[in-house]
Chains A and B, each alone.
Chain A
Amino acid sequence: MSDKPLTARDYPVAETRPEQVAGSRGKPLSSLTLDAVIGGDVDIEDLRITPQALLQQAQISRSVGRAALAENFERAAEMTRLPQDEVMTIYELLRPGRAESKDSLLDAASRIRRDHDAQQLADFLEEAARFYELRGLFRKRY
């Protein structure tokens, strides 16, 4: 893949560069056929989106002035590395009154930064912790 960021001209990526589109175990689109599914050669993991694909979509979004959408795709690219349980645990922690102090959010931030190389998501959690404290969200609601 070239380093040049993708633009609207490269969209839809599955049509313009199918050879570069692959599932999370590296199987390219062309190998995800019905026969392969029937033969048991395709796993649900092969149908998972990769961080690369999300970053490419982020480049395309940015090229048409949708930076906020691009940032979401970039956070999502990091999140592909988080196990589902971790995604849901942190979601729960972000809901009002779940964390008793900012420490649990900050701990989660350190954990995903360390274990999953999730820089932007960690920053995002730290920022949430700051605003939650300002707005008094660290109290039990039920």
Chain B
Amino acid sequence: MSQSYDANRWKRFDDWDARALRLDKFAVEDPENGFSAFRGAADPKPGLGIKGGKVTSMDGVAARDFDLIDAFIATYHIDPDIAEEAMAIPSEQLARMLVDMNVPRTELTRLARGLTPAKLAETVAQLNAMELSFAYSKMRARQSPGNQAHVTNAKDDPLQLAADAAIAVALGFDEIETTMRVARNSWSNALACCVGSAVGRAGTLFQCSSEEAEELEIGMAGFTSYAETVSVYGTESAFIDGDDTPWSKAWLAAAYASRGIKMRCTSGAAAELLMGFHEAKSLLYLEARCLCLQRGMGSQGTQNGGIDGAPLASSMPGGVRELLAENLVAVWLDLECASGNDARHSESDMRVAAKVLPYLIGGSDLICSGFGSILKYDNSFNPSSFNGEELEEFLVLQRDFEADGGLTAVEDARALDLRRRAIDALSHVLKDLGLAEATEVMKRSVAVASGSNDTQSFTPRDVALISDKIHSQGITVLDVIRSLHRGGFRDEAENLLFLVKLRVSGDYLQTSAVVRDGRVISAINDPNEYTGPGTGHRLSEERRAELAAIREVLDREEVLRAEATSEMGEAKAIRYQTMGPATPGTDPQEIVVGVSPGFGSKIFRTLAGHPLSAVLRALKAGIERGGGTMRIVRFWHTADTSFLGLSAARLSGSGLGIGIQSKGTAVIHQKDRLPHNNLELFSNAPITTLDHYEAMGFNATSYAQGVLPEPVVVPTRGEALGARFHPRVALTYAIETSMTEDGAAPENLQITFLET
């Protein structure tokens, strides 16, 4: 191998170049061109003029010069009865009130009704990331946090949609959202998710994101229960380019309510920049305008926090802090907040986890406004921050921080049962309503499939035909309920009916409404009342246990069970015989190997998986190669490697000993050294090979002969050995320490290898 030492670059940069992070592109702050999170070149100073109950100027613009957004905000957001009082409070003071647990949320939401976009932006910009997170947690509307899932697939396959919807429901998502690869498949997607979401539990809200008129029509047919596609923008030009105005969007907001469908608006940093109409204003100021507009329209909530613009916002200095800041403005304005964490803003898993953390630990109405419950390639909205691949990471983060992210683990067997039930229910409905016939192969392939690459099911063209039939035949949710009942899916029929009945009272139109355990909870009957430690959202013991219950957790019995499976093999490989008390030896060739109390009696393998018989065989071979003889002594007074080694050395005729624990940690020791000042140590038992043990045996003899050998180094490739092994280490070690006895005398062991 040729080595070149004349590179003109430190090679660490090559390592850094290879990281996923380097796929992310970062942008220089450039306020003139819209690349500024907090300090736009043209951001106005806060200000408000009111005469006779009418706004005469706002944030430096006179009423006669208002664009459509200013006009709408001045008319519908600014409350003239509060504005004078609120605008007179210095923004530094408002910022302090936001993080003061003694100032109630309701006082701050009252004042927000009199604050202009520039004032809101100026205030939250003064908070650092920690303060923003805290204020967000204090100000969010509903006390119990929740989460929302994407349920889509690359084939628009209805069987998979139904199965995945049932899984999303079981995981605990409060809302599920679908969309299509092919626009005309919307009716099929809606029906499939609707059926799937009725499996196992009632009350999960469902949305089918499609063209505005069609989305309303699907809602009116009863398949869906919420919508969040009402996008708004922070500049007039971007708004018009989006083919809407504040008035057209407000009309839609009322339209959804008039059909009993929960609705929230969508806006997020950098949308205007992506569309080319930023007016040299900062992300935060434009977003404050969007949010005032949404409150003015009478939207109960917002999907906010970057959304499609999150990757662009995150490319700027402070961009991720800005996403927190805009979410804070949303909840300060008393809006439900589906707090982004939707489109994946980075290729770096670390950036993704760091971004979600404040929302996970502080809670949010909907932590992700679209958690990909399916695999990345099946996510028709584009990959989310978290997807099917990363779902267990999210469950573990919940467990780590004892923070309720809205999700609960689903057991293997139950997951498959739910998928089969959903597939059977939907297959029945498709056949019963004359829409399509699913074969056994299709059903079976979908049940076990992780994603659509593994299925043999409907193709997008088949789905288009199904979708057209649903629409043209005027099929409604009542037809589906009746069909489910005919097929014997009575629970599912009841669950679906429960959900559509909710729209009659309109209870779930209120701010932050979701359905839990058959009840509507919202900012009205579950308001966030955080006022310091011991208040606000706290985990119940029951919920804490749910968060802890991830799969494959170790306990002492599990460790002993695993050892029991090795016991039989070892019984055939080696025999240990106790030969009475061990006394100091006199043979200068002797190397004493001191083993721990459970060695070969309770524990039979090292952490690397080597049978202990093989380890002893390797040590013996190494010692004999060096011209020594091996004596094995079992110690009962200690299970600690250093003391095993030192005690062995003190009994050894050569003064050299090897101490070894059952889990494979080993040390070479000399009789006159301090306990923790050994000659060689294999502390990384999980990556220690039999060759290493052989070399250790050999080196012990070298030391005995007064020769300094090349120490054996167990090479690590940077594995997180602690994470992989420490629970088992601690449990194994506890088993050994429980066997120790103060002052117990060591015993000679005679071993016989039974196999060659």
- Residues of chain A at the chain B interface (Cβ within 8 Å): 8, 11-15, 21-23, 29, 32-34, 37-38, 42-44, 46-50, 53-54, 56-57, 60-61, 64-73, 75-80, 82, 84, 87-88, 90-91, 94-96, 121, 124-125, 127-128, 131-132, 134-135, 137, 141
B247 near A57 with CB under 8 A, answer no
Chain B contacts of A12 at CB under 8 A?
505, 507, 519-520, 522, 524-525
Q: Chain B 228-256 against A: per-residue CB contact (8 Å), 1 yes, 0 no?
A: 00000000100010011101101111111
Output the least CB separation between A88 and chain B (Å). Answer: 5
B254 near A132 with CB under 8 A, answer no
Assembled-state Cα–Cα distance A8/B527 (Å): 11
**Would A91 and B507 be within 8 Å (CB), given that A12-B519, A37-B481, A44-B476 are in contact?**
no
Assembled-state Cα–Cα distance A18/B188 (Å): 33
Assembled-state Cα–Cα distance A44/B497 (Å): 11
**Would A84 and B217 be within 8 Å (CB), given that A75-B298, A94-B247, A95-B243 are in contact?**
yes
Output the least CB separation between A124 and chain B (Å). Answer: 7
B497 near A37 with CB under 8 A, answer yes
Chain B contacts of A67 at CB under 8 A?
79
Assess whether B625 is interfacial by the CB under 8 Å rule.
no
Assess whether B493 is interfacial by the CB under 8 Å rule.
yes
Chain A contacts of B524 at CB under 8 A?
8, 11-12, 60, 64
Assembled-state Cα–Cα distance A104/B501 (Å): 38
List the 5 closest A-B pairs by CB distance, nearest first: A72-B298, A76-B257, A49-B260, A79-B258, A94-B248
Chain A contacts of B110 at CB under 8 A?
65
A34 near B494 with CB under 8 A, answer yes
Assembled-state Cα–Cα distance A134/B66 (Å): 9
Assess whether B511 is interfacial by the CB under 8 Å rule.
yes
A11 near B212 with CB under 8 A, answer no
B251 near A135 with CB under 8 A, answer no
A15 near B519 with CB under 8 A, answer yes
Q: How large is the interface on B (under 10, 10 to 19, 20 to 34, 35 or more residues)?
A: 35 or more
Assess whether B54 is interfacial by the CB under 8 Å rule.
no
B243 near A68 with CB under 8 A, answer no
Output the least CB separation between B103 and chain A (Å). Answer: 16
- Chain B residues 398-421 with CB under 8 Å of chain A are none
Assembled-state Cα–Cα distance A70/B244 (Å): 23
A13 near B501 with CB under 8 A, answer no
B478 near A57 with CB under 8 A, answer no
Assembled-state Cα–Cα distance A94/B236 (Å): 15
Interface residues of chain A: helix, strand, loop or mixed (majority) = helix
Chain B contacts of A42 at CB under 8 A?
478
Assess whether B221 is interfacial by the CB under 8 Å rule.
yes
Assess whether B485 is interfacial by the CB under 8 Å rule.
yes
Chain A contacts of B523 at CB under 8 A?
64
Assembled-state Cα–Cα distance A4/B109 (Å): 26
- Residues of chain B at the chain A interface (Cβ within 8 Å): 67-68, 71-72, 75-77, 79, 106, 109-110, 113, 212-213, 216-217, 220-222, 236, 240, 243-245, 247-248, 250-260, 295-300, 334, 476-478, 481-482, 485, 490, 493-494, 497, 500-507, 509-511, 519-520, 522-525
B505 near A14 with CB under 8 A, answer yes
A32 near B68 with CB under 8 A, answer no
Contacting B511 at CB < 8 Å: which of A49, A66, A95?
A: A66
B254 near A79 with CB under 8 A, answer yes
Chain B contacts of A121 at CB under 8 A?
254
Which of A38, A68, A82, A125 has its CB near the most chain B CB atoms (within 10 A)?
A: A68
Contacting B245 at CB < 8 Å: which of A38, A53, A84, A95?
A: A95
- The contact sample of 8 A-B pairs, CB cut-off 8 A, is A32-B501, A48-B503, A57-B506, A68-B76, A72-B253, A72-B299, A96-B245, A127-B75
Contacting B485 at CB < 8 Å: which of A15, A38, A65, A91?
A: A38
16 further interface pairs, Cβ-Cβ under 8 Å (given A14-B504, A75-B250): A32-B504, A38-B485, A47-B222, A49-B260, A49-B506, A53-B504, A53-B505, A68-B296, A73-B506, A79-B258, A80-B258, A91-B212, A91-B252, A131-B71, A131-B72, A134-B71
**Would A69 and B482 be within 8 Å (CB), given that A13-B506, A127-B75 are in contact?**
no
Assembled-state Cα–Cα distance A53/B506 (Å): 6
A14 near B248 with CB under 8 A, answer no
Considering the complex, give the chain A residue whose CB is closest to the CB of B241: A96
Considering the complex, give the chain A residue whose CB is closest to the CB of B65: A134
**Would A95 and B248 be within 8 Å (CB), given that A12-B520, A47-B500 are in contact?**
yes
B506 near A54 with CB under 8 A, answer yes
Chain B contacts of A78 at CB under 8 A?
258
Assembled-state Cα–Cα distance A90/B482 (Å): 35
Output the least CB separation between B400 and chain A (Å). Answer: 35
Contacting A95 at CB < 8 Å: which of B244, B299, B490, B500?
A: B244
B506 near A68 with CB under 8 A, answer no
Chain B contacts of A64 at CB under 8 A?
523-524
A14 near B525 with CB under 8 A, answer no
A137 near B253 with CB under 8 A, answer no
Considering the complex, give the chain B residue whose CB is closest to the CB of A52: B506
Chain B contacts of A96 at CB under 8 A?
240, 243-245, 248
Considering the complex, give the chain A residue whose CB is closest to the CB of B509: A57
A132 near B245 with CB under 8 A, answer yes
Assembled-state Cα–Cα distance A44/B191 (Å): 16
Considering the complex, give the chain B residue whose CB is closest to the CB of A73: B257
B248 near A73 with CB under 8 A, answer no
Assembled-state Cα–Cα distance A43/B500 (Å): 12
A68 near B245 with CB under 8 A, answer no
Output the least CB separation between A137 and chain B (Å). Answer: 7
Assembled-state Cα–Cα distance A15/B507 (Å): 10
Assembled-state Cα–Cα distance A122/B756 (Å): 96
B497 near A29 with CB under 8 A, answer no
Assembled-state Cα–Cα distance A80/B504 (Å): 12
Output the least CB separation between B247 and chain A (Å). Answer: 4
